[in-house]
Structure 1
């Protein structure tokens, strides 16, 4: 039923007059009469009849006023209700989907900031999988962070930063000093990282395009432990620049420009349209953007 009909009914009940109801509602009297006519046809009852003291309700009209007013009150409360989010008082748990590179790059700073401004908020990290898009849509994941071209279509996104690649070896590597030449790149033994979000496919496609082969000694599915591995072997790894910088902070390794101009790629945060205006989701996105956006 058109809720405007309920409003007209309530106003006629209060004023006992079609004309006064129209004045109070800012409607022409003819429109009020038409609305009353629709209600009469729907309930097969006059609902109001003219008397010496005005338009009085029939028994059917009298029976309808309470449920009609209940509906109007529910609608009024619904229109006034607005979701709010106070990070300082919230106990909400946020679910963030991340790649391995995002774990290393974002978590320490993000956890420190959340503990500072939202001490009772919790964060649960989820792995990026083939189900991530469905999880974002269903609200099972609030945000996905990393290099995820498969999430570009159908989701809101915000670029945080763009990065290229670097070659990482141990500081006292016997054959790699201050440059990684094309010959060194071809002759040294490599460790490849296939973890999602590392841009591994970009490296492989560029090498294939150049018909440039490298000697793979090891392939790893994850990033953790890579710094210790490189610091204690003669292996060479081609990784995103920020990963290279992180490895230099935690291990006895150095980062050098690669001999190949690999394409750069963007790290983004992604979220579903359903939660674009959600105050809690907006707060979380703003924290991530403030911390990591270039």
Structure 2
């Protein structure tokens, strides 16, 4: 039993996929299959069984994952392995949990940067959810980027930028011109985006404190198609300012200051303390932070 075999076990357990485990470890799929065969012989158990949901672990594999991960850490410490990450040569997948805001604001710039400085790096995006803390802890996700005040002890964070709110309507709106008044805001029909991490709860709490009631004509789970929707209707939406700026660039809409004082919140990147010193994770965090310092 060597470190390579243990790493294969751990990666297949995390990804539930032979091919994705190979991508992350920089090994051919055939090498992963050979390693799995050796592991199965050693433990006398199938360990992973192919299903419609990927390679699912057997009960014995589930019981092994904690000691295997402890053994990996121990072996790395004993051998004083100095991990090195070379982005120019690296061939791997990073998994990032994102909110809709960071999907719109960060993702295009990140992909363009990676194509230049690390052409072998690929990215998989998942939505922020209740499973995000567990995914960061287990290594199923490398980073989470967005507004996530629910992340507690055991997680590091770095502020990327502060965010306030703007209102958006179609450019030729018949009633809303260049300035939005409180009366206009209360009179118009509004869109409410219910996705987690948008800061929308901050808006609702602020309006409730101010005693402001508005007519929610449409509730949506995310910002998908928001630009086209607003450009084709008289609806109004209150969104984080950078989302509003993006909508202005891609659709025939305009951005207005809200007529009420709304809170400011921070967009951050989060990672688990297990990966604080991991070279690949540190490199990715640096790339993302640099995008907002330019």
How far did 1:195 drift? 1.3
Q: Secondary structure at the match of 2:154?
A: coil
Q: Secondary structure at the match of 1:149?
A: coil
Verify the 8 A CA contact 2:88 2:120 in the aligned structure 1: yes
Matches within 5 A, 1:67-106: 78-106=78-106
2-structure distance, mates of 1:237, 1:280: 39
Consecutive unaligned residues in structure 1, runs of 5 or more: 1-73
Q: Secondary structure at the match of 2:150?
A: helix
Q: Secondary structure at the match of 2:281?
A: helix
Aligned pair count? Answer: 221
Q: Secondary structure at the match of 1:151?
A: coil
2-structure distance, mates of 1:209, 1:130: 28
Task: Give the structure with higher Rg (CA).
Answer: 1
How far did 1:83 drift? 0.6
Could you tell me which residue of structure 2 aligns to residue 28 of structure 1?
A: none
Which has the higher mean CA deviation after the structures are superposed, 96-105 or 262-271? Answer: 96-105
Aligned pair in 2 of structure 1 residues 162, 124: CA closer, same or farther (>3 Å)? same
Q: Secondary structure at the match of 2:123?
A: strand
1-structure distance, mates of 2:215, 2:75: 69
Verify the 8 A CA contact 2:137 2:272 in the aligned structure 1: yes
2-structure distance, mates of 1:269, 1:153: 15
Q: Secondary structure at the match of 1:287?
A: helix
Which has the higher mean CA deviation after the structures are superposed, 276-285 or 90-99? Answer: 90-99
Matches within 5 A, 1:202-213: 202-213=202-213
Aligned pair in 2 of structure 1 residues 284, 75: CA closer, same or farther (>3 Å)? closer
How far did 1:197 drift? 1.7
Could you tell me which residue of structure 1 aligns to residue 108 of structure 2?
A: 108
How far did 1:242 drift? 0.2
Could you tell me which residue of structure 2 aligns to residue 69 of structure 1?
A: none
Q: Secondary structure at the match of 2:223?
A: coil
Q: Secondary structure at the match of 1:119?
A: coil
**1:134 aligned onto 2:141:** no
2-structure distance, mates of 1:233, 1:116: 40
Could you tell me which residue of structure 1 aligns to residue 292 of structure 2?
A: 292
Q: Secondary structure at the match of 1:234?
A: coil
Verify the 8 A CA contact 1:230 1:253 in the aligned structure 2: yes
Could you tell me which residue of structure 1 aligns to residue 118 of structure 2?
A: 118
Matches within 5 A, 1:271-282: 271-282=271-282
2-structure distance, mates of 1:134, 1:228: 36
Verify the 8 A CA contact 1:191 1:236 in the aligned structure 2: yes
**1:180 aligned onto 2:198:** no
Aligned pair in 2 of structure 1 residues 250, 149: CA closer, same or farther (>3 Å)? same
How far did 1:91 drift? 0.6
Verify the 8 A CA contact 1:161 1:293 in the aligned structure 2: no
Could you tell me which residue of structure 2 aligns to residue 17 of structure 1?
A: none
Aligned pair in 2 of structure 1 residues 204, 92: CA closer, same or farther (>3 Å)? same
How far did 1:76 drift? 11
Aligned pair in 2 of structure 1 residues 233, 283: CA closer, same or farther (>3 Å)? same
How far did 1:293 drift? 4.1
Consecutive unaligned residues in structure 2, runs of 5 or more: 1-73
Verify the 8 A CA contact 2:162 2:267 in the aligned structure 1: yes
2-structure distance, mates of 1:84, 1:190: 51
RMSD: 1.7
Structure 1 length normalisation: TM-score?
A: 0.73
User: Could you list the runs of 4 or more consecutive aligned residues of structure 1 that deviate by over 3 angstroms after TM superposition?
Assistant: 74-80
